[in-house]
Amino acid sequence: MLEIKNLTKVYDDGTVALRDLNFNVESGEFLVIIGLSGSGKSTLLRCINRLIEPTQGKIIWEGIDITSAEPAQLRKIRRQIGMIFQHFNLVNRSNVLTNVLSGRLGYVNPLTSIYHGFPEKDRKLAMQALERAGIADQAKKRADELSGGQQQRVGIARALMQQPRMILADEPVASLDPVLAHTILGYLESMNQDEGITVLCSLHYLDLIQRYATRVIGLRDGQIVYRGSREDIRRMTDDEFKEIYGEEAVRVSAGRTEKGVE
Amino acid sequence: MGGISGQAKPVKSLVSGPVAGIASFIIPGLGQILAGQFRRGLLLLGSMGSSIMLLFWRAHLLAHREIGVFDKFVKALNRRPFFTGLLIACSVFLWVWNAWDARRQTRPDRRGGFGIFILIILIFFALGWQISQIDLYKMVVELPDALPPLSKVLWPWKAAVTRETEVVSAGADILIGCDDNPPLLPEEVPGKPYLMADPTCGELSRMDESNQVVKGSTLTLTGRGFAPNTETQIWWADSMGNEFRPRQEREYVTVHTDENGAFKLKLIMPYRLIPPSAEGQQIHRVEARQISAVGNLIIADPLKLTLGRMAETIFMGMMATFFGILFAVPISFLAARNLMAGSWITMSIYYLTRTILNIIRAIEPLIWALIAVVWVGLGPFAGIIALTIHSIASLGKLYSEAIENIDPGPIEAIQATGATWLQTIMYAVVPQMVPPFVSFSIYRWDINVRMSTIIGLVGGGGIGFLLVQYIRLLDYRSAGIAVWFIAITVAMLDYVSSEIRQRFV
Ligand SMILES: Nc1ncnc2c1ncn2[C@@H]1O[C@H](COP(=O)(O)OP(=O)(O)O)[C@@H](O)[C@H]1O
Ligand SMILES: [Mg+2]
């Protein structure tokens, strides 16, 4: 479904964030990317939908090279790929419904949507997405009036609105407490299993990785240092985990310690 | 200064104590510098040098006719013994102290001390008192003079309404400079008011070189046939027919008729500049007028004018804000660092824009108004230009800072959905810009209306224009009406702007 070939990213200041990465993502996977803060996870995820321009290499989506896509084509690809962020990235002053509806922007008429005109069926879709995320009663509230967990559900509803084939999730639970982490990842898991949406997600904590991942890629200094199957991860010990992460990592429940959290 | 911070590493003195003292006696501060107290020495040199220069300047002003320095000081001492004497004594004392201080500074254990600087500050204070012409005595003694105008300003409403009037008047011709045949008195018509001047010629008041009024001839005015027991105004018309009301002791000359409708009064001929081109006999005219109110109450001119000017003022502020916003929005994008960080070309545009905005903002709107008056002439348009220029600069800066502070997160989130550039702006940038934009624009509107109330002082139109005219004419009641309306408008504006801000932010 997605092929990453020789992907390299060098920032303007000379930082080499990604070095010659090669891997494939199969349809229906829950692929988790692990790595210390600064290892290049965010950069990798953002290169895939070109929020960050890759320096070198190819990213092939369904046979089309994203890195050389024209703007219109790129927008068509982007709308098939939902994205979820660590800090939710909602528009705080807009209400929840508008935030969710904005997930539909890649599909609607660019001109009528400017004054917030969305077709009736999109509004229905938005309410369904909110119901699915369990926050339909909050639709009229301003986004910044919600709690962190609720905001991330809005983020998920927004991604759902794209009717995506893949979701990129950049540390979606790193700023939430452990109970909420399982709720949010539970939504991702059900989307992955029930609708066959491919998930590409960066995570920090071994117990979460073991619970949700079907495959793992470990990054260090922009290079892949570990590839593991579901079984490999289940068997993984703290020492092996430490090897990927370096000495800083500890086996912890998500959120209980600040160590390793970005 | 080196003296206060004792923990600084000890500096060795270059010279012995007496040498430092002598050096400082020749040039103040030099000894301290030689003793290694460089900053203390410079501070002493600078402050003593400038205080002594100021002292010479004040002495010169007090005795500008004298030639020698010594003569000047003697004259100055005679004219202002306390001030001049105190300063000279302090300066001499300071000079000696500075030499002694230099000697002391050579000893590492006796460094520092800031008593000498306290004395210097005292000297500057005395100079400042004199230079800025502070006069507490006058302030107290002449306080009563301020009360009548103040009470008129505080309660001006007598001048707000008036009645339609009917004027009863009579006049007499006055020849400027007496010759053999002064003007004849007018003929008295029975049943009509009659005014008689004695003599019918004389000299006008005039100004001497030092702008002191030299009083002119005194005329005795006798009136008959006026309405009894009524206030009667005296008016003067020059040979060009320009009329004005002469004043004596700051008040307009008025007289009350007795029960027979007659009066008698002495009038010093007023000051009036006669143009040098005027030729021949100068015939002026003095008139007595009774203005009696008839009919209904009507709104008086000051109130009418004030209302009109107030509307002008509010619209000036509004237009200036509108134009300011119009230009500031695009400029603010050029002045936003995060948008312009792309290349060195955009970065230099950014720095250029920032610099220009800062320079424009540093110049007060009143000064822009002076320039605009030269440009488009007196009136509200000049005021609008001045306020617009200043608004562009300050809004441009505020908006650009708002742009710099927007959260990039929502932008990437919206881009990731496949939105177009315009959609991204509308959904991710604009919602974040609305609160600071509204609040800065309202804040500016508030400032602009306040500023436009005073921009008229320099000819930029609006209520200030009227206010300054009333004040110059010593018409405190009318000025008071203007002041009241300014206060009312500003208060209303405060309320409205805080309401709007609460709605939007
Ligand atoms: N905009 C940027 N400019 C320069 N360097 C960056 C930028 N963003 C990230 N980096 C650097 O790239 C490396 C990878 O960062 P990132 O992808 O954010 O890692 P992670 O998400 O794994 O913490 C880090 O060394 C980081 O400092
Ligand atoms: Mg990151």
Domain boundaries, chain B: 11-134, 161-298, 302-504
DSSP reduced 3-state for B33: helix
Cα angle B284, B285, B288; round to 5 = 155
- CB-based contact B420 A75, cutoff 8 Å: yes
Q: Could you give the CA distance from residue B385 to residue B455 in angstroms, rounded to a whole number?
A: 11
Among A89, A98, A113, A158, the residue to mutate for chain B (most B Cβ within 10 A): A89
One CATH from 2.60.40, 3.30.70, 1.10.10, 2.40.128 for B161-298: 2.60.40
Report yes or no: B198 and B246 within 8 Å, Cβ to Cβ: no
Residue in this structure with the two tokens 């995320």, named with its chain if needed: A133
One DSSP character per residue, B197-252 reads EESSEE--BEE-TTSPEEP--EEEEEEESSPTT-EEEEEEE-TT--EE--EETTEE
Q: Could you give the CA distance from residue B501 to residue B440 in angstroms, rounded to a whole number?
A: 9
- Quickly name the fold that domain B302-504 has: MetI-like fold (1.10.3720)
Distance of CA B453 to the CA centre of its chain: 13
- CB-based contact B418 A77, cutoff 8 Å: yes
In angstroms, what is the span from residue A37 Cα to ligand 2's centroid? 6
Q: Which residues in chain A are contacts of B415 at CB distance < 8 A? A: 51, 78
Q: CA of A84: which chain B residue's CA is closest?
A: B413
Element (H, E) at A162: none
Q: CA of A73: which chain B residue's CA is closest?
A: B418
Domains B161-298 and B302-504 share a fold: no
Report yes or no: B273 and B283 within 8 Å, Cβ to Cβ: no
* Helices H / strands E in chain A, number of each: 9, 10
Give the residues surrounding ligand 1 with Cβ less than 6 Å away.
Answer: A 11, 13, 15, 17, 35, 37-43, 262
Question: Max Cα separation, chain B?
Answer: 105
A28: left (phi over 0), alpha (psi -120 to 50) or beta: left
Other C-beta atoms lying within 10 Å of the C-beta of residue B435: 14
pLDDT, averaged in runs of 10, over chain A (262 residues): 95 93 94 90 95 94 92 93 95 93 92 82 93 90 92 95 95 88 92 94 87 92 90 82 65 42 37
pLDDT number for residue A121:
92
- CB-based contact B416 A83, cutoff 8 Å: yes
* Alpha-helical regions (H) of B27-161: 30-34, 38-62, 69-79, 81-105, 115-131, 136-141, 143-154
pLDDT tens digit sequence for A71-110 = 899 999 999 999 999 999 999 989 999 999 999 999 998 8
Q: Could you give the CA distance from residue B284 to residue B264 in angstroms, rounded to a whole number?
A: 20
Phi then psi for B480, rounded to 5 degrees?
-60, -40
Could you tell me which residues are beta bridge partners of residue B286? B172, B236
Which ligand approaches the C-alpha of residue A219 most closely? Answer: 1
pLDDT number for residue A248:
57
**Cβ neighbours of residue B287 closer than 8 Å, sequence gap 6 or more:** B169, B170, B171, B172, B195, B234, B235, B236, B237
Residue in this structure with the two tokens 């060098």, named with its chain if needed: A10
pLDDT number for residue B457:
86
State whether residue A110 sits within 8 Å of chain B by CB. Answer: yes
Report yes or no: B216 and B236 within 8 Å, Cβ to Cβ: no
Q: Could you give the CA distance from residue B480 to residue B486 in angstroms, rounded to a whole number?
A: 10
Which ligand approaches the C-alpha of residue A85 most closely? Answer: 2
Cα angle B119, B120, B121; round to 5 = 90
Report yes or no: B160 and B479 within 8 Å, Cβ to Cβ: no
Mean pLDDT score across all residues of chain A: 88
**Cβ neighbourhood burial of A10 (10 Å; 0-12, 13-18, 19+):** middle
**Cβ neighbours of residue B312 closer than 8 Å, sequence gap 6 or more:** B380, B461, B462, B463
Element (H, E) at A85: none
Q: State the distance between the two ends of chain B, measured CA to CA, in whole angstroms.
A: 49
State whether residue B426 sits within 8 Å of chain A by CB. Answer: yes
pLDDT number for residue A17:
95
Is the pTM for the entire model greater than 0.80? no
pLDDT number for residue A251:
47
Q: Could you give the CA distance from residue B478 to residue B469 in angstroms, rounded to a whole number?
A: 10
pLDDT number for residue B343:
73
pLDDT number for residue B9:
55
Q: Name the nearest CA neighbour of A44 among A77, A2, A106, A104.
A: A2
- Tens digit of each residue's pLDDT, chain B (505 residues): 444 444 455 667 888 888 999 999 999 999 989 888 888 999 999 999 998 898 888 888 888 888 888 888 888 888 888 888 888 898 999 999 999 998 888 887 777 788 888 888 988 898 888 888 888 888 899 898 889 889 988 998 888 887 777 888 899 888 888 888 888 887 888 888 899 888 888 888 888 888 888 888 899 999 988 888 888 999 999 888 888 999 888 788 989 999 988 999 999 999 887 777 777 778 899 999 988 777 778 888 889 999 999 999 999 999 999 999 999 998 998 898 877 776 788 889 999 999 999 999 999 999 999 999 999 999 999 999 999 999 999 999 999 999 888 999 999 999 999 998 889 888 998 889 888 888 899 889 989 988 988 898 888 888 988 999 998 988 899 999 999 999 998 899 889 888 888 877 6
